[in-house]
Amino acid sequence: DQQVKQNSPSLSVQEGRISILNCDYTNSMFDYFLWYKKYPAEGPTFLISISSIKDKNEDGRFTVFLNKSAKHLSLHIVPSQPGDSAVYFCAARGYNNNDMRFGAGTRLTVKP
């Protein structure tokens, strides 16, 4: 069962515009959420995280929003740059802290 879902396999945006990547989860015991970015032939790299006690976290051009009632989080990238083109994974930590679940990823393409 996929407890973390990224329903959009791909997303294409123009340089300078906003990119919005979405993630849904089913397990209400998840208490910490992370986004990773992955370039081809490389391992994922940590991007930004949010605790379940918050609804927003910002880091430069990247903002993550959490809607606990809807079990939904989103990553906003503003403005998008061609170097942001990568696969983005959403991840969630379970209550026992060892149970990390990842979504299937969304491939973002930022066109110049």
Partner 1 sequence: NAGVTQTPKFQVLKTGQSMTLQCAQDMNHEYMSWYRQDPGMGLRLIHYSVGAGITDQGEVPNGYNVSRSTTEDFPLRLLSAAPSQTSVYFCASSNAPGIEAFFGQGTRLTVV
- DSSP notation for 26-56: --TT--EEEEEEE-TTS--EEEEEEETT-SE
Q: Which of 8, 22, 27, 102 binds partner 1 (CB under 8 A)?
A: 102
Closest distance of CB 85 from partner 1, Å: 19
SS3 84: helix
In Å, how far from its chain's centre is CA 81?
17
Rank residues 2 and 12 by Cβ distance to partner 1 and give the closer one.
Answer: 2
Closest CA to 52 of 35, 37, 36, 65: 65
Interaction residues for partner 1, span 52-81 (CB under 8 A): none
Please tell me whether residue 44 binds partner 1 under the rule CB under 8 A. yes
Closest distance of CB 44 from partner 1, Å: 5
By CB under 8 A, name the binding residues for partner 1: 2, 4, 6, 32, 34, 36, 41-46, 49, 89, 91, 93-94, 97-105
